[in-house]
Every structure is written in structure tokens, then in C-alpha cells.
Amino acid sequence: MVLSGEMIEKIPFIHRQRLYNIVIEEDITFTALHVIIDDLIGQGAFEAERDGGDLYLVEHADVRYTVGVDGIDVIITVQGH
């Protein structure tokens, strides 16, 4: 994946014995990743009947994230601190 001329890599991340590919430009803590994925699971983001490409809003530790989910790919952007 290329964004603004820079290479963006998918980082494999295991959460609750399931693999996800994380794409994010900024630094993020493991705790925040776990919270975000738990929130997404609670919102049904990874349910089989979803078409993919859905966007979700997640807040953690006074930071707002917009998260795109497409299968096991989780694309995270930071909206505000």
C-alpha cells in the first residue's frame, strides 16, 4: 500500500488468538491496539456477514481514532488528542 509517496506496511498483530493486519502511520501502544480491537469486536466489525470497508469511531485515553475494517485488515487514523 502506498500513501503520500511513502510505503505503508501491514503489521501482523495477534489479539485473543486471532490475527489482524494493522495499518497505521503514527505510533500506538499495544494497550490502545487491544482496546480498539475489543471495541471493534463489540461493534460487530469482524462478523462474517459484513461486506468490509466499514468505518468505525473509537476513543481511548482522550484520543479519537477512525478505524477502517476490511476482513482482518484494520486501518487506523488518529483524529485528535
pLDDT tens digits for range 44-65: 999 876 666 789 999 999 999 9
Domain boundaries in the chain? 2-80
Task: Give mean pLDDT, residues 19-43.
Answer: 93
pLDDT at 4 over 90: no
Mean pLDDT computed over 8-20 = 91
The confidence score (pLDDT) of residue 50 equals: 66
Here the contacts of 69-73 (C-beta below 8 Å, separation 24 or greater) are 69/40, 69/45, 72/18, 72/19, 72/20, 72/21, 72/46, 73/10, 73/20, 73/21, 73/23
CB atoms within 10 A of CB 69: 22
Question: pLDDT tier at 3 (50, 70, 90 boundaries)?
Answer: very low
- Residue labelled with grid coordinates 469486536: 41
